[in-house]
């Protein structure tokens, strides 16, 4: 077995554990307080890091492009500042360590993924993600349909509840990835990926997955994810068509027809569950909206009082060992945990990465680069606005997948342009 193949296989195992983490958690040491999948993911991450070092000792000519140097340096600065915050924050130490890992260590997956040298290996990684997504989406639809027959371990992740709507007997599918909102965010990401791949390659496998991703999104009943699918369709049409007059005419016609059909359905079936959740007729939805608004107001007040350093890494979200100030809204959580200076650097990293991808798409006429590049841009746009409302982006499955896609893109681009490497 070559070093390249070993490295690729560990990455594929890592993706497997990431996507099917809920099954691993629910069926390994279920009665204990141990989150089995988290331990396995972190161990695999450490193995990848060690292999990365060994791989580059063996190939001493490891290089990085000039355009990537700034991204890596910026990441290192953010990593160092995050490390400093572990020592200056006052919240629980375990929270700080978990928060540091979730924010700053997991980002480095883009460096680890981009270490592969063969073009075919990046294509294989994407197809691995696609194949695993097929399974998890079909399973989630079964959750939605067979809710009265599946055992508890297949209905909810350990430590999570079963989420339903009170006005209708509907279960919100979660794919065992945690909260349905997290699963909905994952659905949107895979939909964008598969749709862009289909446009470039015309492979029916990608088209079918796009349709299943839409069904899975509706099964999650995540309002923002359903809206995200609709907006993503428009963005995919725009980015894959250079005839602006034609594309905007299509968008206008599709939107007009969609609104008419939606109105007719509403008049015929006013109590349809999808209308109940979007029009806030459901008591759970009403309560959720009120709680979220209250949390946002509280978060803004705390941010005002702790602008420079925040209130501590890991003090909000899944890392928190106490009741968090805000449970939904990534940007508010970021400001609360990081403080304004580090938050600005953190956001700047996203902007630099998006700009880098835009340049790649413009300069390189390659189907894989264009499909993956457009995927990364559209996913970034989706999370830019969804991050004001929910925190699905910070969920491990979405966060690591996002940065993995970026790593696959830059790694693939390097593998087809080896002659323009520069020493770092």
Q: What is the rounded CA–CA span in Å between residue 70 and residue 64?
A: 11
Choose between 272 and 200: higher pLDDT.
Answer: 200
Buried b (16+ CB within 10 A) or exposed e, 317-336: bbbbeeebbbbbbbbbbbbb
The burial class, CB within 10 Å (0-12 / 13-18 / 19+), for 316 is: buried
CA torsion through residues 399, 404, 409, 414, sign: positive
Q: Is it the case that residue 267 has pLDDT exceeding 60?
A: no
| Contact in structure between 173 and 220 (CB atoms under 8 Å) | yes
> First-to-last CA distance in the chain?
29
| Contact in structure between 48 and 40 (CB atoms under 8 Å) | no
Q: Would you state the pLDDT for residue 424? A: 25
Buried b (16+ CB within 10 A) or exposed e, 363-402: eeebebbbbbbbbbbbbbbbbeebbebbbbbbbbbbbbbb
**What integer best gives the mean pLDDT of the chain?**
82
Tokens of 210: 């796009």
Instruction: Enter the pTM of the model.
Output: 0.87
Secondary structure (3-state) at 170:
strand
Phi, psi angle pair for 89, to nearest 5°: -75, 160
Q: Is it the case that residue 419 has pLDDT exceeding 50?
A: no
Among the ranges given (113-117, 260-264, 311-315, 411-415), the one the predictor scored with the smallest mean pLDDT = 260-264
pLDDT digits (tens, 9 = 90+) for 323-380: 566 667 788 888 888 888 889 999 999 999 999 999 899 888 889 999 999 999 999 9
Q: Would you state the pLDDT for residue 91? A: 81
pLDDT digits (tens, 9 = 90+) for 200-240: 998 999 999 999 999 999 888 888 898 899 889 888 888 87
Secondary structure (3-state) at 387:
coil
| Contact in structure between 415 and 122 (CB atoms under 8 Å) | yes
Q: What is the rounded CA–CA span in Å between residue 24 and residue 321?
A: 23
pLDDT digits (tens, 9 = 90+) for 61-103: 455 666 678 898 899 999 999 899 888 888 888 888 888 998 8
């Amino acid at each position: 077995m070559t070093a390249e193949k070993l490295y690729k296989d560990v990455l594929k195992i890592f993706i497997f554990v990431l996507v099917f983490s809920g099954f691993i958690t629910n069926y390994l040491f279920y009665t204990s307080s141990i989150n089995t999948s988290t331990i396995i993911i972190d161990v695999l991450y450490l193995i990848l890091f060690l292999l990365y070092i060994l791989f580059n000792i063996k190939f001493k000519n490891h290089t990085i492009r000039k355009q990537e140097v700034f991204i890596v340096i910026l990441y290192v600065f953010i990593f160092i500042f995050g490390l400093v915050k572990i020592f200056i924050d006052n919240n629980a130490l375990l929270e700080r360590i978990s928060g540091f890992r979730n924010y700053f260590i997991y980002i480095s997956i883009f460096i680890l993924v981009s270490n592969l040298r063969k073009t075919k290996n990046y294509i294989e990684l994407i197809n691995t993600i696609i194949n695993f997504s097929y399974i998890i989406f079909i399973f989630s639809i079964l959750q939605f349909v067979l809710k009265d027959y599946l055992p508890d371990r297949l209905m909810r992740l350990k430590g999570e509840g079963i989420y339903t709507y009170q006005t209708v007997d509907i279960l919100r599918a979660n794919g065992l990835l945690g909260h349905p909102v997290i699963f909905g965010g994952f659905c949107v990401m895979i939909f964008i990926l598969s749709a862009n791949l289909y446009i470039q390659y015309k492979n029916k496998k990608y088209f079918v997955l796009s349709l299943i991703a839409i069904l899975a999104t509706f099964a999650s009943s995540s309002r923002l994810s359903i809206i995200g699918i609709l907006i993503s369709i428009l963005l995919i049409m725009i980015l894959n068509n250079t005839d602006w007059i034609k594309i905007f005419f299509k968008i206008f016609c599709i939107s007009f027809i969609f609104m008419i059909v939606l109105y007719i359905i509403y008049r015929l079936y006013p109590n349809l569950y999808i209308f109940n959740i979007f029009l806030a007729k459901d008591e759970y939805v009403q309560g959720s909206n009120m709680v979220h608004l209250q949390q946002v107001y509280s978060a803004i007040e705390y941010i005002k009082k702790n602008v420079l350093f925040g209130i501590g890494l890991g003090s909000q979200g899944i890392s928190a060992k106490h009741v968090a100030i805000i449970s939904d809204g990534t940007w508010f959580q970021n400001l609360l945990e990081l403080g304004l200076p580090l938050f600005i650097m953190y956001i700047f990293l996203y902007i630099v990465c998006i700009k880098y991808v835009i340049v790649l798409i413009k300069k390189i006429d390659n189907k894989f680069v264009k499909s993956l590049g457009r995927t990364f841009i559209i996913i970034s746009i989706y999370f830019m606005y969804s991050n004001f409302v929910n925190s699905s982006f910070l969920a491990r499955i979405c966060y690591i997948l996002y940065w993995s896609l970026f790593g696959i893109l830059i790694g693939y681009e390097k593998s087809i342009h080896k002659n323009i490497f520069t020493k770092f």
